[in-house]
A and B are shown apart, each in its own frame.
Chain A
Amino acid sequence: MKSFIKRAAALAGATVVTMSLAANVLARESYDPYSYDRWGDAVSSQAGYVAEEFIDGQLINGLYEKVESMEGFDYDEEEWKQKLSLKEPADLFISYEDYLYICDKGNNRIIATDLDFNMVRYLDTFYLDGQETTLNAPQGVFVDPYNDHELYVCDTENSRVLRCDKEGNVLQVFTKPTSEIYSQDLTYKPEKVVVDKAGNVYVVVGSVTKGAVMYDRSGEFLGFFGANRVEATAEIIMNAFWNKIATEEQQARSVRATAIGFDNFDIDDMGFIYTVTQSSDVDTDTVKKVNPEGVNILSTLNPEDVTFGDHSPAYWSIYTKQSALVDIDIGPNGELNILDFNHGRVFQYDKLANLMFVIGGSGNQLGTFLSATAIESHDDMIYVLDSRKNGITTFRRSDFGEIVTNATNLYNEGYYNESYQPWREVVKRDGNYRRAYIGIGNALMQKEQYKEAMKYFKVAISRDRYNKAFEGWRDQILQKWLTPVVVCIIIIAIISAIIKALVKRGIIKLPKIQWPWKRRGA
């Protein structure tokens, strides 16, 4: 992959100068940061986030002491040794009290730490109706921000979702729905859970493709939420055509097209649920922003503008694969942080789904991943959980990232003029950053400097914006020159009419001109 990016970067010949400038700064990152140009080709870019630390179980303050002081602890026993660190952690969640919840799947426990990785909570035993119960390979954790920070745990292998308080007292258990809508042949392995403001609980179940299983506050099964659409491949269209003309019997025998269920989700403050679909076989609905009615809002944007993960040229090679998006997280400004399992990359998009940064890669070094499974963000930090490296990598936003974020926020709020300076700074640091040119162009357009704006939109290769700037520029030119030109034409017409009249009356005589092309030849 790296070699590909280098090759692609070499292609962008016009920006080589800025790249070589950037190279000095990039040197310490263990991967090549890149972004995409107008054509979807990868171009070298600045790192928006810098990998800071790798936190494994040993580095969580208090975990060692806690496990050591537990009854029956024996350092020589493998099972206890594993408990000293994380084992195949599956999920990460940052609660509104700024605690980091780690779902330690291999050790069947939930660990909560503060943001400096001091352990604040250790939950391996839960109390259900006065009896002790343990987890079995839990895969998801969620803390309800609205309701007393209640903890929701997907107890996957026990086929249940637990709602419990801070001490681990189980308040409610969500199990397999008995409704007819939920086919009883299906297993119930809850993987991820979120809760909305109204207390509705959404659970991603591996075997269900119709969307998330949705319960109301009292635990009653409401139905499925936010299913993916079926991708319109040639085969599906063909089947739809045959079904149109087939009899009912034939239709019953034909294969039903089923959409692939989404694999992970997150909820933002507004109550929108963002879903990601991991499968590399589909391109539709890999990332969705679903409103409470179950409608995907991103599908109303121009589909050409909204692509997630690596663009096709990047994986059009035997060395690379199509992105497999495993987790999504919504940042403080509505940024979408999307985690790609196949290459261990984090794609950060702004709230309008424009790519901001690509962070990370696959490998063993700091900032790269073997099996990235979960992502969370807090302020200017991004936390990525790796289930094979058994730890969390923290990224902090770089100076460059700070400027871009600032500019993007101003721009998305409509403060084009205010975003002008930050965008200029971005261009100074990374000449490949296409959105900066668009930002500068829009600011210039607001100042009615259309000619300049056209220049920037041309660099950004943004046709529609160029068209608008061009229209403005043309109007300016017309306003300036239309009157003089019309006056000139009228004057010339009058003069020529006078001359003609004079010639007609024989007062003056015009010399005869022999135009070379008017010659009549043989």
Chain B
Amino acid sequence: MLDLTQGQFVKHVVTHPFEGFEDLRWKKSGSMAIATVIVFILFIQQLAYNRLYGFQYYVSYDKVFNIIPYIFRSFGLFLLYVVCNWAMCTLFDGEGSLKNIYIVTAYSLIPYIAAYLIGTLLSHFLIKDEYVFIQVIEYIGLGWTVILFISAMKAVHQFSFIKTILLILLTLVAMVLCIFLLVLLLTLFQQVLIFIFTIYTELSYRLRV
């Protein structure tokens, strides 16, 4: 029973929101490679959504282009979530390993990515009055991802529903804290660098005189 390849498992998980991830865990299946590809597609999707959307819906400011925000919104946030979730789950006796969390999180993003990619594609065929179709597709994708996501967290840590929701909320808090600390760290390092640079300039002036 359920002798599925890695690829087939992806399909199985996405189409079975309630037992899919349990099966995945039971079979100890799931592939890091596929998960990474999914995150990469997420990155592409973010780019497409901002840059390739139908002209009649959205015009992007094309005089400057910076790829860093897109990297952060896909890879950055994803990795941050995975790490924070793992960190929180150790406090809650969750059973998921870092690898497992990585895989299920990526898998659960599939409907979202697909819906928004379809929406981006459709935006080149529909006019403004028909935006509601795109919107419906996007909402369905988003809702599906939310369901998959909760189910994935529940399965990977073997938590109750309430505990899962709590974990997700705490993970979000941890993410905010992480970003705050990162910004703080960067600023401090900047200060240190400026300090060192000032000493260097001071010395070099004195040496010259």
Contact = CB atoms under 8 A, between A and B. Distances in A.
Interface of A: 11-13, 38-39, 41, 458, 461, 463-464, 466-467, 470-471, 474, 517, 519-522
B59 interface: yes
Contact of B59 (A11, A12, A463, A519): A463
18 contacts: A11-B63, A12-B63, A13-B63, A39-B63, A463-B55, A463-B58, A463-B59, A464-B56, A464-B128, A467-B56, A471-B127, A474-B125, A517-B7, A519-B5, A520-B5, A521-B5, A522-B3, A522-B5
B127 A470 contact: yes
Nearest to A462: B59
B61 interface: yes
Contacts of B57: 463
A461 B59 contact: yes
Contacts of B3: 520, 522
Interface of B: 3, 5, 7, 55-59, 61, 63, 125, 127-128
A68 B3 CA distance: 113
Nearest to A467: B56
A470 B56 contact: yes
Contacts of B128: 464, 467
A453 to B, nearest CB: 13
B52 to A, nearest CB: 14
Contacts of B58: 463
B8 to A, nearest CB: 8
Contacts of B56: 463-464, 466-467, 470
A95 B94 CA distance: 87
Contacts of B125: 474
Nearest to B125: A474
A38 B63 CA distance: 12
Given A13-B63, A474-B125, A520-B3, 6 more contacts: A12-B63, A464-B56, A466-B55, A467-B56, A470-B55, A519-B5
B108 to A, nearest CB: 22
B24 to A, nearest CB: 16
Nearest to B56: A467
Contacts of A464: 56, 128
Contacts of A521: 5
B55 A458 contact: yes
A521 to B, nearest CB: 4
For the complex of A and B, the 10 pairs showing the least CB-CB separation, nearest first, are: A467-B56, A521-B5, A471-B127, A467-B128, A466-B56, A466-B55, A470-B56, A461-B59, A467-B127, A463-B59
A471 B61 CA distance: 24
B205 to A, nearest CB: 29
Contacts of A13: 63
Contacts of B59: 38, 461, 463
A10 to B, nearest CB: 11
Contacts of B55: 458, 463, 466, 470
Contacts of B63: 11-13, 39, 41
